[in-house]
Structure formats: structure tokens, C-alpha cells
């Protein structure tokens, strides 16, 4: 079945540094990938939609200059948290609908990245 | 604005004790309603998609149903390995494939 791989699974960084998270579709192509953030006991909140070959679309309230998204190929999207602060500590999860399998194909999720900013 | 509300927030069952989880939704035209299972520290794992009122889907001890306002996830004779957080999400008509999630129901099944 369709697999989405996310790396790293966890990362600890110091305040003010940047962190890059990768999301890869392993056995299918994804023209679109979604980046979610999940705080403890909260629902997954969509941050942005990553589009291959074009600019990402950010949800209201998400700073595009802080959360840089690049979708350079049909199998890779990256999220870079720039100048991270403790309030950015969260669980970041990417997902992708398999391209060409129809509009009703379920989103497949990566296993998430636990970011801790100290 | 599309919204999803799940209840209860947490549910404790004894092994073999059947129950149901609720997902109420409001959406401007439903394309699909999704159920996912999420284990601690992991990404959501797809369970079911429901598209229209009256539809039902089953997988092992789980059965999902859909009405125009809500969906239920019925768990029959649960086992401890069914312990997880169950997430409900809706996808609206209109082209985007993004999902709007509820907060989930944390299910604990005691042996």
C-alpha cells in the first residue's frame, strides 16, 4: 500500500535555530502534500498545502516566513521551521493523497516528527 | 466553517464490552468522512471512508456508519490492542483534498 515516510521522527533544537523535516512518498507520486501540526490532546490542524512546482498555500494564522515549505519533486516535500522557539514545540505530520487514484483516495500519513525547542 | 466534534473525549472499556464513538460534523457539502486510528507518537492510520448517508463499512471489530449529521464507530467485543485514539475527519466538496479533524476519542480497553 501507499507509504509516506517522514524524517526525522524526533528532533531537539535550541531556540533560534532552524529545523528541516522531510516527507517522502515512497511508492507513489504526490503532486500535493499536506502539513499538519498536533498539540497534546488537540486535533490535527492543517498548516499548509504543499504543491509540486509552485508555492505552498498556507492556512490562516500560519506564518509563511517562519514555516518554509518546498515541494521540489513528486515524492519529496520539506518543512523548515526557521528561528524556532519553545512555542513551536509540537508534533508535525505530513500527508499525501496518492496521485492518480481518484479524488476520494484516503490521505496517507507519515509517522510524524516530534519537535522540541529548548 | 467546517467543524468536527467527537465524543466522548475518552472512553474506558473492559475487554469484550462493546460501545460506540460519535463524530458530529458540519460541512459545506460532504465529499467524504474519514476514520483514522492514531497510536501514541505515530501518524494516523486509515480505517474507513464514508461518502453518503446510510453507508456502512466494517473491518474486523470495527463498523462505521454515516448519517447526514454524524458518524458512529461501533466497536464490537474490543480487545486491548484496540486501545488508541480514533480520529474523525471530513473532506468538503470543492477541489481541495485537505481534511478537517476532530480532537479524537482516546479509547482504552482493559484486559
Please answer yes or no on whether A97 and B97 come within 8 Å at the CB atom.
yes
Position with higher pLDDT, A97 vs A87:
A87
For B23-54, give one letter per residue: b (16+ CB within 10 A) or e: bebebeebbbbbbbbbeeebbbebbbbbeeee
Q: For testing the chain B interface, which of A106, A109, A111 should be mutated: the one with the most B CBs within 10 Å? A: A106
Structure confidence by residue, pLDDT tens digits, B38-64: 999 899 999 999 999 999 999 999 999
What's the rounded Cα separation, in Å, for the pair A50 and B45?
21
Q: Residue A3 — pLDDT band, cuts 50, 70, 90?
A: confident
Q: Residue B6 — pLDDT band, cuts 50, 70, 90?
A: very high
Residues of A in contact with B89 (CB under 8 A): 44
CA of A42, closest CA in chain B: separation in Å?
A: 5
Please answer yes or no on whether B44 and A109 come within 8 Å at the CB atom.
yes
Structure confidence by residue, pLDDT tens digits, A14-34: 999 999 999 998 888 888 899
Our measurement of the distance from residue B23's CA atom to the centroid of its chain's CA atoms, rounded to an integer in Å, reads: 6
Mean pLDDT computed over every residue of chain B: 94
CA of A61, closest CA in chain B: separation in Å?
A: 15
**Residue A34 pLDDT:** 93
Check pLDDT > 80 for residue A93. yes
Q: Residue A1 — pLDDT band, cuts 50, 70, 90?
A: low
Query: What are the CA-CA distances from residue B96 to residues A51, B7, B45, B55 (Å)?
Result: 12, 27, 21, 23
CA of B92, closest CA in chain A: separation in Å?
A: 11
Check pLDDT > 70 for residue A105. no
| Beta strands per DSSP E along A1-118 | 4-7, 10-13, 19-25, 32-38, 45-51, 57-58, 67-73, 76-81, 90-96, 108-109, 113-117
- Searching chain B, which residue's CA lies closest to the CA of residue A4? B43
Window from A52-56, A75-79, B16-20 with minimum mean pLDDT: A52-56
Size of interface A-B (CB pairs under 8 A): 60
Mean pLDDT computed over every residue of chain A: 89
Please answer yes or no on whether B102 and A103 come within 8 Å at the CB atom.
no
Mean pLDDT for the stretch of residues A67-71: 94
Other CB atoms within a 10 A radius of the CB of residue B100 amount to 20
CA of B17, closest CA in chain A: separation in Å?
A: 25
**Residue B93 pLDDT:** 86
Position with higher pLDDT, B22 vs A55:
B22
What's the rounded Cα separation, in Å, for the pair A91 and A116?
9
Q: Residue A118 — pLDDT band, cuts 50, 70, 90?
A: very high
Please answer yes or no on whether B97 and A110 come within 8 Å at the CB atom.
no
Q: Residue B102 — pLDDT band, cuts 50, 70, 90?
A: very high
Task: Give the residues across from B37 on adjacent strands.
Answer: B45, B86
Q: Residue A101 — pLDDT band, cuts 50, 70, 90?
A: low
Please answer yes or no on whether B42 and A43 come within 8 Å at the CB atom.
no
Amino acid at each position: 500500500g501507499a507509504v509516506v515516510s517522514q524524517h526525522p521522527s524526533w528532533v531537539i533544537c535550541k531556540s533560534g535555530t532552524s529545523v528541516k523535516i522531510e516527507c517522502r512518498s515512497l511508492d507513489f507520486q504526490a503532486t500535493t502534500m499536506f502539513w499538519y501540526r498536533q498539540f497534546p490532546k488537540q486535533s490535527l490542524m492543517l498548516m499548509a498545502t504543499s504543491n509540486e512546482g509552485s508555492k505552498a498555500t498556507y492556512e490562516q494564522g500560519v506564518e509563511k516566513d517562519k514555516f518554509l515549505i518546498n515541494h521540489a519533486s513528486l515524492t519529496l516535500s520539506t518543512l523548515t521551521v526557521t528561528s524556532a522557539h519553545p512555542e513551536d514545540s509540537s508534533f508535525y505530520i505530513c500527508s499525501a493523497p496518492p496521485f492518480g487514484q481518484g479524488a476520494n483516495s484516503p490521505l496517507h500519513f507519515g509517522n510524524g516528527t516530534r519537535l522540541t525547542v529548548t | 466553517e467546517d467543524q468536527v466534534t467527537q465524543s466522548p473525549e475518552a472512553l474506558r472499556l473492559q475487554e469484550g464490552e462493546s460501545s460506540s464513538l460519535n463524530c458530529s460534523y458540519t460541512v459545506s457539502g460532504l465529499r467524504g468522512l474519514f476514520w483514522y486510528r492514531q497510536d501514541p507518537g505515530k501518524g494516523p492510520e486509515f480505517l474507513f471512508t464514508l461518502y453518503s448517508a446510510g453507508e456502512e463499512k466494517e473491518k474486523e471489530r470495527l463498523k462505521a456508519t454515516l448519517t447526514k449529521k454524524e458518524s458512529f464507530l461501533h466497536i464490537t467485543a474490543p480487545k486491548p490492542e484496540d486501545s488508541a485514539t480514533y480520529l474523525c475527519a471530513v473532506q468538503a466538496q470543492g477541489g481541495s483534498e485537505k481534511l478537517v479533524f476532530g480532537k479524537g476519542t482516546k479509547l482504552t480497553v482493559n484486559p
